[in-house]
Structure 1
Amino acid sequence: MKAWLTLCVVILMIIIGVAIYHYKQYIPSSISPQQTPVPQALSNEEIQQLKQSKPITEIEVFKEKRRLHLKHHDEIVRDYPMRLGFDPIGHKQFEGDGKTPEGDYRIDWRNPQSAFYKSLHISYPNQADLAYAQQHGQSAGGDIMIHGTVPKDRTSIPSSATYMPQGDWTLGCIAVRNIDMDEIWQLVDNNTKIKIHP
């Protein structure tokens, strides 16, 4: 009886070992966009020090990585997770296509009363975007923002400041956590360049 039990345990161990060997490729080994690291929030004092020592000269967005960088010249000063339009692959061409623009733009105005907490407006569409849409008899759309995730009327919900949805959900905007939007709002001046990569 003991020999039979030992044999069963050995066979079971072999089966488990073979299963792990064959299926280890499906075990996540890197961080997915939904599990991206988040920065430690800055205090108001740290934000003011950063504005003085390393003022933000450019925003750089990497759509595929779902990351937004605030840069002082070539140095990455802050790095945030983000979400995009509901159909994120490719450059925004038409109103309602669910895409986030790609290319070089500027932050040209801001809205402290945004539906999604606070927002910075991206200068899409530019002349080329407008011309392309007009050639196809469509509107290029607009109102592309960097904004928060939780609407103002729900910010009293616990953990709303740090909430980040799993997937892309906007109509073409770039959404960050509300706590990150507070930092971006203070660190980024109007007329700052923004470069959006695929």
Structure 2
Amino acid sequence: MSALKPEARDWLTGTGFTIKDEALWFAAITHGSMGEKQDYERLEFLGDRVLGLSIADWLYAHDSAPEGKLAQRLNAMVSRETCAQVARGIGLAPHMRISKQANADGGRDSDNILGDVIEALLGAQFLDNGFEAARTLVLKLWRPALEGGAGRSKHPKSALQEWAAGNQRRPPEYELVDRSGPDHAAKFTVRVKVHKVGEAEGTAGSKQEAEKQAAREFMEKYG
């Protein structure tokens, strides 16, 4: 029976979601480890696009920066890191339906899972209530990041690339040196090297975030 627990329903409506088709919302908070017919994956695919369009629309209207800077800010706003931060801010974790094993493996605090579920909820909001309702909620939940100027600073990998070029060094080389944990709570460690300068490592819940962390560590160490 795809019925939401009363506390999950109360949390959803209290956060600003509007529930009509309960099965949608039940699927949106259900992780694949539960082994059920419906989980959040398809809704996450849709919600990712809803989020991207909503943020792009806001940036176009409120930021006069050129296309490259807008793209930089958009990428920061829709990153797994920011999505997980928003999910934690609204207290999503206790309401996710994940298996005991996935929970024991740290799934309830995984950036990947938290980010996916918040996007799935946006997908459910879009399907149940239309784009305008979904966009309104995105702008409410992402307001601190939008108004705080997240993404205005250069991406660490871009900063390192430019630093290397500016110092007549070879381009940075990234290498995945370790991957641990189950798929739903994986940890990636990436090493970045600049020839005849040095190296640094970063660890995160995705390869992209680990590369970013490694670049940031390198710049703090050698930049």
Q: TM-score, normalised by structure 1?
A: 0.26
Q: Which has the higher contact order (CA 8 A, sep 6+)?
A: 1
Per residue, is there more helix in 1 or in 2? 2
Per residue, is there more strand in 1 or in 2? 1
